[in-house]
Each structure stands twice: as C-alpha cells, then as structure tokens.
Amino acid sequence: MKAYKSYGKLLLTAEYVVLDGALALAVPTKYGQDLHIETLESPEIIWTSLDHEKQCWFTTSFKVLDIKNQSLNTITPTDASQRLLQILVAAHALNPSFLNSNNGFKIITALDFPRNWGLGTSSTLINNIAHWANVNPYKLLELTFGGSGYDIACAQNSTPITYQITNNKTAPIVKPVNFNPKFKDALYFVYLNKKQNSREGIANYRALNLQNKTATINKINTISLQLINCNTVNAFNSLIEQHEELIANITKQSTVKALLFPDFNGAIKSLGAWGGDFILVSSKTNPTAYFNSKGYQTMIPYEDMVL
C-alpha cells in the first residue's frame, strides 16, 4: 500500500494580487488530507472519500481504460465524480505511464478537517494525486481547478513560505521563511460559517479588469516582508490593517471588520477570497466571548492551526 499526505493552507497576504505576481506569505496547516492506494487485480479505480469524522461523503468508480481513453476537452466537471475524472485524465495526459498497467487501484482519501473550512480539500487532493502520478502538481492544478498555486506550495511544505508567480505559472518561486511571531498567543483563526468559492472570487477579481496595480503590488510585497520580521503585536496589527485597506480599495469591497465586526477591539484580516472561510484575528485579550456572541463558534489559536 502507498500513502501520501498533503497539508492544508492559509494565505496570510496578497490575496487576489498573488495572481498578478505579488509576493504572498502563506502557512501550511496542521490539518490536511491523506491518500491511501491499494493495488487491485481488476483494471478499475474504486474511490472512497472520508471526512474528518471518518464518514464516507463520496464514492465512485471508473474503469482504467475509460480514464486512459478520455479527453480533457470532453469533460465538464459538474459534480464530484466528473471533477475527479478530470483530475485523473489530466494526470494521465501529463504522464502517459500513469495507470499504464493491467491492474487497478482501491483509493481511500481521508480529511482531518471539516470540508467546509476551506483549508484545501481540492489542493491537498491535487498534490496527493500529482505525487502518485509523478507529475508536476502546478501543471495538474492548471489543467483542472486553476488558481494561483500557493495552496499547492503549502501542501508540500512544513514551514511558512513566501510564494510568487513567475512568467511560467507552473514554476513559481517558493521560499521557506522563518515566520514565527513572538506574539502568536494573541493570534486566532475564526471561521465565518461560510465556505468561499475561490474560483468565483478569482473570476470576480479578473472581471474588474484592473489596469494600474503596480503600486498596490509593491506595497503588498513590502508588507509581506515586514510581517515576517515583525516583533510586536502593535506593528503587526498596523500592517494587516494597511493590507486590508489596500485590497479593499483595489477590489471595491468593504473590509471584513467594517462589514461584520466594527466594534471589535483588535485587528482583523481576511484570508484568501473575501467573504468566507477563516479570518485572522489579533487580540491582546482572549476574544472567544466576543465572537461567540456574534454567532461564530469555531475559533482556533494560531499555535493549534499553523504547522
């Protein structure tokens, strides 16, 4: 039996503008997804996906020959089964020796976080399949879900990273960094009770058709680097508030603090596509009671979330 493990992700800086080459700071999470592979004598793929409670949430099967003979152009991923088929067909297109045998496989994937948390159900799957198929995971992502690829970088790394897209999207610049805030006991991740669709967020950003982003990107690059070496919570709060205003201005959106938590005594930053998933909260006192009173029950301390 073969087994692969990929880590979840959180994008701390450069949301949206990472797509245009901004320097992003991202962290892998302690939560992730496993992929277990057992060889079968029959030439078929029998697939089972388990959630964080080890309950089956998805199952399907394919004949290996159908995967090898399928064309990416003929697949419309309208459901989970078609999306998985698309990924397997793309992996075979990138490496024709993948699945090129007379046997099949029993596959079990297992998440250790709730699917609606937005920590990388798709990216951890892509990275695991890419390793199994021995293909470039960024190329596999480009042929399937699309996106910046920072989540793939997090899936592969066990430390915080900076991430930057180059002219070759499938060869980004990924650098491990020593981001370990002295004040991390003041940092929390709060789930907004809503899973955000990253593809929709990207599409909406692209639809803005922004022309002059250079100045904003340069400021975001500076903030990303300053955050890595930030020594005080006050300086950290100032930087993430500056970042929120920059992204709010360029995307014509309200910051999450202004929208949902205007009376909060601390700093708040959106992570990834705005409007859902987790936010980063910086507070000198434990903010559990405040967020619980607002209806937000899932709050994870920085140390418990970040790998």
Other C-beta atoms closer than 10 Å to the C-beta of 303 total 11
Whether residue 286 sits in one domain with residue 200: yes
Which residue type is seen at 15? E
For 291, the domain range is 184-305
What is the CATH classification number for the domain harbouring 267?
Answer: 3.30.70.890
Do 281 and 238 share a domain, yes or no?
yes
Task: Report how far apart, in Å, the C-alpha atoms of 86 and of each of 14, 102, 142, 167, 202 are.
Answer: 29, 21, 12, 25, 20
Is residue 86 within a helix (H) or strand (E), and if so which, with residue range? helix 80-94
Residues 188 and 268 in one domain: yes
pLDDT at 204: 83
- Looking at residue 109, its pLDDT comes to 98
Instruction: Please report, in tens digits, the pLDDT of each residue of the chain (307 residues total).
Output: 899 999 999 999 999 999 999 999 999 999 999 999 999 999 999 999 999 999 999 999 999 999 999 999 889 888 999 999 999 999 999 999 999 989 999 999 999 999 999 999 999 999 999 999 999 999 999 999 999 999 999 999 999 999 999 888 889 999 999 999 999 999 999 999 998 888 888 888 888 877 788 999 999 999 999 999 999 999 999 999 999 999 999 999 999 999 999 999 999 999 998 988 999 999 999 999 999 999 999 999 999 999 9
Same domain, 41 and 73: yes
> Quick one: 127 and 265 in the same domain?
no
Is 67 found in the same domain as 146? yes
User: Is-contact 17 43, C-beta < 8 A?
Assistant: no
Question: What's the domain count of the chain?
Answer: 2
Shared domain check, 275 and 238? yes
Per DSSP, the three-state class of 218 is: helix
- For residues 36 and 166, membership in a common domain is answered with yes
- Does 152 share its domain with 189? no
Residue type (1 letter), 65? L
Q: What is the pLDDT of residue 205?
A: 83
Nearest 10 degrees: CA dihedral of 265, 288, 115, 57?
Answer: -160
Boundary (domain end) residue, out of 127, 149, 176: 176
